Structure 1
Amino acid sequence: MVTISGSAQVFPYVSHLRVYEPLEAFSDAQQLAILAQRTRERSETDAIEHEQSLRRILRTISDPFPHHEPDLMRITHFPTSNGSTTPYYCPNQLAVRTALAAESLDQSLRGPLIDVLVPEVAREAHQARLDPETFADSVAKLHTRSATWGVPFAWFALIHEDDLTEVVEDEDRVTTVRITARIGDCIDRGKRSIAHLAVAAPEMDLFDEITELVEWLGIFRRDAVVEVDYGPVAERVFPDDSPSDVRLGIESLAEADMLGAAAAYRRLASRWIPIRQLARAS
């Protein structure tokens, strides 16, 4: 486990699942953007993203979309077999992700509220700013998934507690925890969980969620790495046994050990349900 320090930033409870690939996996334009940002620290990238989001929220006219902001690139360094580290890169793809988020919001909300939050004129203007030549490719290969009010249990099926872990602290406060693993290991773990659940509990939402994650990971290079970034919710749960609890719960189901599965779920529920209830708190 590596503990590093980062600047204090107050984010909403948003967690991220990211895929990082080597430089040669990207287009020439993306490689130029990566090379221009390759010396920037992760804490600085997070601070820039936070500042930009605040600027969008505080606009006098409701418009949450980015306006011609250069895409941020995150960099992680993962150990190699010879003891050195290799850089891997994850494009933020904010313009595409905000377009997809607005579309999802439009499907879940009805009436005047959607026009207050995301006015149609702002959506149309954002759509006009998107590059049609790269939009489809970006949608097909999104490197980042986000979740609010907690880390989805399906994400924990991809990682183990002994994977590379960074604890980011600021003045003795945990600001996030990042767990990184090779994509091949994540896919194998996901497939193992799918096989167990297919026999023991195919009706569970977790079965469909892990299946969808494994299909998503399958579009990336086999030399990529996967990162679960807890975000600020880490302060409430870390140290966290959720990866082992999810694994033990699935294995218990496969062995028809209902007591073991129930115990694992109780541990997960006691840890995460109070956090998810905050989404409905006034």
Structure 2
Amino acid sequence: MTGNLYRGQAGLPFSSTLRVYEPLDAFPQEQRKAIQAAGARTASRAAVENAELLASLGRITRPGGDPFPTGRTDLVRVTAAPAAQPGGTADGGPESEPDLLYCPSQLVLRAGLAANALMEGIHGPLAELLIPEEQRDRHQERIDLVKARDGSTRVHTRASTWGIPFSWFSLFMESDHKDVVEAAGRIVTVRVWASITDALERARYAVANLALAAPDLDMLDDLAQLTEWLEQFHVESMIELDYGSVADKVYPDDSPTDIRLGIECLAEGDMTGAAAAYRRLASRWIPIRQLARAS
């Protein structure tokens, strides 16, 4: 299954994701059964990734040209929350089974946000050619239905193509848990995990220091938006950085360390150290981003 995933991504843009997994009781009562059932239907994480990839490719070739997801089914990723007290309970008993955490794909909402972002700088005939107004209006009706049904519009997933935003790395440290997924001699992806409390603490530290040392840095705005986003979720959530197939080009990756060192250097007034950290990041990620314009 994992090998199929890698081959299926050949020739597609590198896509990386930042996902928040929440405990079941963080979701509205009326959604919990559907989320739990959707998570239970999936045999493995690789099965979810393959199903999502195949569905996206199917939408591109769908008769009628409508590229938007219909929302009839929504995939849900599931992970186990770390046990609250490794090694045993407070009374010395055996360690309990960890609770499950859920991340719904929310493809209808995310497709709408992506389409809006694409349309912001495109108008006239080109906009109509890319996504005809009739299709956009039809998808807005789906979005309205989802919002009316679910109430909450928190989006659990952020995506990036052709590289990972530097701000994302500030949420993680080199000591965080990693899953390296390999197949046929290649790295399919690397997934890095952190608790949302740790991620928020790191983001706030970065925002505070950059606001003082480099208030004009674009990364400061990105971090402020990330912080506001994370604050929407349950305190027992986990956050996952999924490198996607770009991991095969950059892993082992010291970007979280370089971001942390760069911010520390800025806070201490060490411009030489900050510049060195940025050069390491740039040498690693600028070639990846340039692939977006390669023919």
Question: Shared fold (TM-score greater than 0.5)?
Answer: yes
- After TM superposition, give the deviation of residue 136 of structure 1 in Å: 6.0
| Identity fraction in percent | 49
Alignment partner, residue 206 of structure 2 = 193
Which of 4, 7, 13 is 1:8 aligned to? Answer: 4
Equivalent position of 2:33 in the other structure: 32
Unaligned residue ranges in structure 2 (runs of 5+): 88-96
Q: Return closer, same or farther for 1:203/1:123 CA change in 2, 3 Å cut-off.
A: same
- For normalisation by structure 2, the TM-score amounts to 0.89
- Who is 1:172 aligned against? 185
Determine helix, strand or coil for the equivalent of 1:102: helix
8 Å Cα contact 1:200/1:253 also seen in 2 = yes
Paired amino acid for 2:108: A
Given that residues 156 and 242 in structure 1 are in contact (C-alpha distance below 8 angstroms), is that contact kept between their aligned partners in structure 2? Answer: yes
- Within 5 Å, give how 1:270-281 maps onto structure 2: 270-281=283-294
Q: Spell out the pairing of 1:61-210 with structure 2 (5 A cutoff).
A: 61-80=64-83, 81-82=85-86, 85-130=98-143, 131=145, 132-134=147-149, 137-138=152-153, 141-210=154-223
CA distance in 2, matches of 1:85, 1:18: 19
Deviation at 1:170, TM superposition (A): 1.4
Following superposition of structure 1 onto structure 2, how do residues 189-268 of structure 1 map, counting pairs within 5 Å?
A: 189-268=202-281
Residue 52 of structure 2 aligns with an amino acid whose one-letter code is E
Q: What is the one-letter code of the residue matched to 1:133?
A: A
Return 267-276 or 109-118, whichever deviates more.
Answer: 109-118
1:114 is paired with a residue of what secondary structure? helix
Counterparts in 2 of 1:101 and 1:136: CA distance versus 1, 3 Å: farther
For 1:236 and 1:99, locate their aligned partners in 2 and report how far apart those are by CA, in whole Å: 30
* Structure 1: distance between partners of 2:160 and 2:81: 24
RMSD value, Cα:
1.6
Shift of residue 33 of structure 1?
Answer: 2.1
Equivalent residue for 2:22? 21
Q: Shift in Å at residue 105 of structure 1?
A: 1.2
* In 2: Cα distance, 1:235 partner to 1:111 partner: 39
1:168: how far off?
A: 1.1
1:180 counterpart SS class: strand
Distance 1:129 1:156 in 2: 33
Cα pair 1:16 1:230 within 8 Å, conserved: yes
Q: Deviations over 1:22-79 (max 9, x none)?
A: 0111123432222223342111011111111011001243211012431111112232
User: Does 129-138 or 62-71 show the bigger shift?
Assistant: 129-138
